[in-house]
Amino acid sequence: MKNELIEFHKHLSSQRIIVQDLMIGVCRELEEWNQIDDETSEAEEDPPVCDPLLNEVEIYRMAFLENIDLLLAEHKVEEGLMALDADEKSSSE
């Protein structure tokens, strides 16, 4: 049962990441369309159509931390440490 819960949690996490990626992509498309529309008609001023709650870096961080959480819940400490090291090397901050 514990393994099934872990697998279910992984599945939910991956689905959440997919939805967040789709949301970011749709927002970018809407922003591009608004820019094109603004270039053709400067007279109308519409409020922003899409205002995502989180930027890409925050979404990446949330997904990364959730992945670390899953690894630690599965007692995969070495993999978690390797993921932390890899993220630290690739991160500019």
Report in angstroms the alpha-carbon separations of 63 from 8, 40, 76.
Answer: 16, 38, 17
Ranges of residues in the chain with a pLDDT under 50 are: 43
Query: Is the pTM for the entire model greater than 0.85?
Result: no
Instruction: Name the residue range of residue 68's domain.
Output: 2-90
Give the number of domains in the chain: 1
Report in angstroms the alpha-carbon separations of 59 from 18, 21, 34, 62, 80.
Answer: 11, 9, 24, 5, 19
Report in angstroms the alpha-carbon separations of 78 from 60, 68, 75.
Answer: 21, 11, 9
Q: Each residue of 69-82: pLDDT tens digit? A: 888 888 888 888 88
